[in-house]
């Protein structure tokens, strides 16, 4: 029986995937050809101690399949994870596009989403500083539609012919294959400082957007300019946006580095657990819409993918909601074999002349041919459309369809002209557009402003976000061994913002001659700042530090309030197993100070009754100190405040006087625990308390 997505009738896509599943239950073991196997533990031999026989097909089939289990990993976006879900349309968008999945309010379309990093190999950590891929496959009734985007709205280079150079510079250096999954090295910064079109994306990469706390707490962008076409043939230029309904949250750099060692699967695990727990993440799909008559009415070229359209100038129109509600059954079959391509469109959505987009149309298809063994990768269950496939394509490696009939060509008379063509104007890419001009390799002058929007981005950041960008640049350039590379990077920054360049130069030993107050742009776009978005506490993880003798009433009151807002309190103790409370009863602890770490949680709570034990444990003190250093909410009751006093320089008294540090909530005893629990839960909505950022990090 097929499962349902979002209630209602079984979804056709899931029924199709279910049909391809092999449960591996209690049936007899067989070969890949279906022959039963009585022994696959010993190879056939010539005598008990003799040589193995080549005729043992069971052995050869098993080993051959094992030898070929791994397919080539993606050149970029190799490290990723995915999940199934549903897209629900908000209303009838037919005035804008004839795409059927946007044609009616409440219309549901199954989707598969893959999140990823760009630079690292498949085994690299999740929390590296990097662009994140955000790719969505819609299984629509008109065919598959892919939005193959990132968590940043702009790209590094303007033309696809430069993409191999970018990735060669970003990847580990070829002489020693170091460093892994990092941009903090000479070849990357040499490329950026030699190709100033990279400046805008470089600023995003140095911002907190490059180290998201969770795949659930990052936005997505289609990056390129596309066209929406309605049934009348009228078109508009559009930019596509995914807005996280969980809010946008990021890690702190020190935290990201520690997580890479403590749990390299941090983002992957977070998404999996959220869906398993029924805490389904959601995003809103929206579009910025531009009339063709306004194509040249802005100080940026709308075909330049290194530029964004400021939301204050061109607002976002919401179209629908994406909900991820089902984890994959088999990572390889689904997440690893899923094949995206920006050329996977449906009628009503068309391409623009963006030169980076035009190149991606070739590159993505070419990559799938290499990775997935030939032209029939669309027949893999995760890639197969729910729409009927009806064409004259035949044969090829890994063909799964059994094609019938005598004709595999068009036009034909033997099959009465079948399959026949759709009516003019109903097919994919039928909308006419005007093209003119000389054949050239020149770049349009409108693409050559490399500094205004990077300056706009920096101007739009809050003070702590600017501080994080400066710290990131100092770290990245400090890892470059060549002084000329550092200097060239600072010279680039000087064209964006003089004060930024001076502060980075001070940290990396370079010189800056730019004026302190110089800015390439004085404008700002508040929507670019993460500080302008209020995060949701739903799915937040709170570490509750306990030891034998803890006050269970205190713990229960706080945990109930946290659970009521959708947060996930988790006990951490000196040992696994049963931890006894002072008044009887207790709690089972699954995590210890050896298996858990502060960087894996969003907040910390220390109840009364067990501080004397916890104060003797170095890891417990460090647990609280890291939470304070990373600006997370911290709460403590009664003698629990003593652990806080040990962990950081806070005015924490043993009486009822509250702590005056930002984001730290204390209670003298447990008499007012209900009010305390309410206040601590409310504090989770802020997530970080960057008022103490500079004291902790600089």
Query: Residue 473: helix, strand or coil by DSSP?
Result: helix
List C-alpha distances in Å: 671 to 552, 561, 663: 13, 16, 21
Query: Residue 123: helix, strand or coil by DSSP?
Result: coil
Q: Are 321 and 90 spatial neighbours (Cβ–Cβ below 8 Å)?
A: yes
Sign of CA dihedral 475, 481, 485, 490: positive
Is 398 annotated in the active site? no
The angle subtended at Cα 314 by Cα 311 and Cα 318, nearest 5°, is 80
Residue 639 C-alpha from the chain's centroid: 41
List C-alpha distances in Å: 201 to 49, 205, 306, 331, 647: 64, 6, 7, 31, 38
Q: Are 603 and 584 spatial neighbours (Cβ–Cβ below 8 Å)?
A: no
Query: How many C-beta neighbours within 10 Å does residue 377 have?
Result: 21
Residue 543: phi, psi to the nearest 5? -85, 125
CA distance 44 to 495: 72
Is 392 annotated in the active site? no
Q: Are 476 and 493 spatial neighbours (Cβ–Cβ below 8 Å)?
A: no
Q: Output the 3-class SS for 520-586.
A: CCCCCCHHHCHHHCCCCCCCCEEEEECCCCECHHHHHHHHHHHHHCCCEEEEEECCCEEEEECCCCE
Q: Are 630 and 603 spatial neighbours (Cβ–Cβ below 8 Å)?
A: no
Residue 429: phi, psi to the nearest 5? 70, 25
Residue among 339, 342, 457 at smallest CA distance from 398: 339
CA distance 357 to 305: 8
Place of tokens 């061109």: 314
User: Pick the catalytic residue: 11, 144, 150, 344?
Assistant: 150
Residue among 277, 265, 237, 295 at smallest CA distance from 120: 265
| Long-range contacts formed by 27-35: CB under 8 A, 24+ apart | 31/57, 31/58, 31/61, 32/61, 32/65
Residue among 120, 121, 147, 119 at smallest CA distance from 134: 147
Which residues, at least 6 apart from 283, have a Cβ–Cβ distance to it below 8 Å? 219, 220, 242, 243, 244, 245, 321, 322
Element (H or E) spanning 364, and its range?
helix 355-371
Place of tokens 């596309």: 226
Buried b (16+ CB within 10 A) or exposed e, 444-463: eeebebbbbbbbbbbbbbee
Residues in the chain: 698
Q: How many CA atoms lie within 13 A of 95 on its CB side?
A: 4
The two tokens of residue 191 are: 């490329």
CA distance 396 to 271: 37
Q: Are 251 and 127 spatial neighbours (Cβ–Cβ below 8 Å)?
A: yes
Place of tokens 């940026």: 300
User: Pick the catalytic residue: 77, 241, 378, 630?
Assistant: 77
CA distance 390 to 100: 19
The two tokens of residue 494 are: 């000087």
The two tokens of residue 329 are: 């059954």
CA distance 535 to 641: 27
Catalytic residues: 77, 150
């Amino acid at each position: 029986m097929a499962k349902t997505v979002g209630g209602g009738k079984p979804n056709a896509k899931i029924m199709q995937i279910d049909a391809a599943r092999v449960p591996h239950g209690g049936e007899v073991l067989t070969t890949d050809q279906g022959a039963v196997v009585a022994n696959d533990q010993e190879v056939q031999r010539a005598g008990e101690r003799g040589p193995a026989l080549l005729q043992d097909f069971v052995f050869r089939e098993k080993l051959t399949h094992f030898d070929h289990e791994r397919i080539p990993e993606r050149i970029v976006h190799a490290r990723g994870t995915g999940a199934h879900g549903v897209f629900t349309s908000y209303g009838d968008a037919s005035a804008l596009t004839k795409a059927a999945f946007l044609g009616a309010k409440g219309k549901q379309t199954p989707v598969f989403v893959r999140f990823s990093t760009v630079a690292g190999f498949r085994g690299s950590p999740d929390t590296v500083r990097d662009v994140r891929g955000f790719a969505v496959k819609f299984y629509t009734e008109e065919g598959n539609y892919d939005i193959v985007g990132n968590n940043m709205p702009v790209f590094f280079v303007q033309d696809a012919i430069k993409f191999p150079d970018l990735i060669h510079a970003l990847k580990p250096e070829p002489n020693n294959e170091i460093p892994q999954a990092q941009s903090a090295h000479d070849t990357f910064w040499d490329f950026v400082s030699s190709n100033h079109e990279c400046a805008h994306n470089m600023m995003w990469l140095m911002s907190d957007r490059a180290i998201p706390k969770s795949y659930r707490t990052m936005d997505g962008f289609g990056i390129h300019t596309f066209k929406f076409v309605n049934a009348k043939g009228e078109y508009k230029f559009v930019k596509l946006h995914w807005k996280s309904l969980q809010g946008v949250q990021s890690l702190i750099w020190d935290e990201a580095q520690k997580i890479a060692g403590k749990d390299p699967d941090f983002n992957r695990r977070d998404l999996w657990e959220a869906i398993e727990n029924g805490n389904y993440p959601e995003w809103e799909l929206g579009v910025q819409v531009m009339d063709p008559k306004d194509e040249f009415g802005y100080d940026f070229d709308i075909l330049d993918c290194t530029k964004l359209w400021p939301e204050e100038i061109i607002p976002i129109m919401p179209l629908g909601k994406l909900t991820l509600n089902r984890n994959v059954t088999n990572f390889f079959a689904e997440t690893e074999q899923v094949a995206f391509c920006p050329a996977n469109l449906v009628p009503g959505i068309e391409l623009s002349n963006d030169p980076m987009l035009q190149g991606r149309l070739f590159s993505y298809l070419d990559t799938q041919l290499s990775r997935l063994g030939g032209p029939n990768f669309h027949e893999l269950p995760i890639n197969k459309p729910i729409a009927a496939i009806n064409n004259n394509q035949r044969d090829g490696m890994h063909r799964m369809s059994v094609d019938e009939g005598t004709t595999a060509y068009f036009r034909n008379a033997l099959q009465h002209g079948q399959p026949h063509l759709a009516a003019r104007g109903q097919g994919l890419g039928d909308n006419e557009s005007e093209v003119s001009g000389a054949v050239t390799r020149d770049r349009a002058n409108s693409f050559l402003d490399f500094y205004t929007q990077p300056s706009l981005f920096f101007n739009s950041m809050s003070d702590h976000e600017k501080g994080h960008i400066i710290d990131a640049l100092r770290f990245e350039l400090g890892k470059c061994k060549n002084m000329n590379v550092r200097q060239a990077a600072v010279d680039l920054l000087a064209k964006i913002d003089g004060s930024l360049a001076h502060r980075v130069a001070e940290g990396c030993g370079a010189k800056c001659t730019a004026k302190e107050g110089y800015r390439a742009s004085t404008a700002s776009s508040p929507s670019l700042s993460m500080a302008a978005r209020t995060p949701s506490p739903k799915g937040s993880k709170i570490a509750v530090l306990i030891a034998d003798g803890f006050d269970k009433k205190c713990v229960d009151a706080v945990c109930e309030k946290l659970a009521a807002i959708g947060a996930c309190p988790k006990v951490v103790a000196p040992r696994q197993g049963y931890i006894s409370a002072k008044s009887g009863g207790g709690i089972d602890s699954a995590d210890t100070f050896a298996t858990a770490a502060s960087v894996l949680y969003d907040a910390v709570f220390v109840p009364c009754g067990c501080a004397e034990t916890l104060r003797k444990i170095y890891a417990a003190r460090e647990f609280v100190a890291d939470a304070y250093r990373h600006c997370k909410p911290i709460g403590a009751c009664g003698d629990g405040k003593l652990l806080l006093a040990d962990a950081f320089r806070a005015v924490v008294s043993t009486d009822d006087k509250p702590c005056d540090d930002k984001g730290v909530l204390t209670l003298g005893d447990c008499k007012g625990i209900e009010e305390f629990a309410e206040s601590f839960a409310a504090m989770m909505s802020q997530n970080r308390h960057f008022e103490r950022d500079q004291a902790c990090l600089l």
